[in-house]
Amino acid sequence: MINPAKPEIKAARPQTYTTLWDTIQRALLGFN
């Protein structure tokens, strides 16, 4: 499973990607 908390990935992505990924994480948490 991919670790969404990797700081190197967050640092390498634009703010739009970070916001999108945050939304995805919330959706995944909602399904759990």
What pLDDT, on a 0 to 100 scale, did the predictor assign at position 19? 87
What does pTM read for this prediction? 0.41
Q: How far apart are CA 11 and CA 29, in angstroms?
A: 23
The radius of gyration of the chain from alpha carbons, rounded to an integer in Å, stands at 10
Alpha-helix runs per DSSP H in the chain:
7-12, 15-31
Q: Identify the pLDDT of residue 7.
A: 60
Q: For the chain, 32 residues long, give each residue's pLDDT as a single digit of tens.
A: 566 666 665 555 667 778 888 898 888 888 75
Q: What is the pLDDT of residue 17?
A: 77
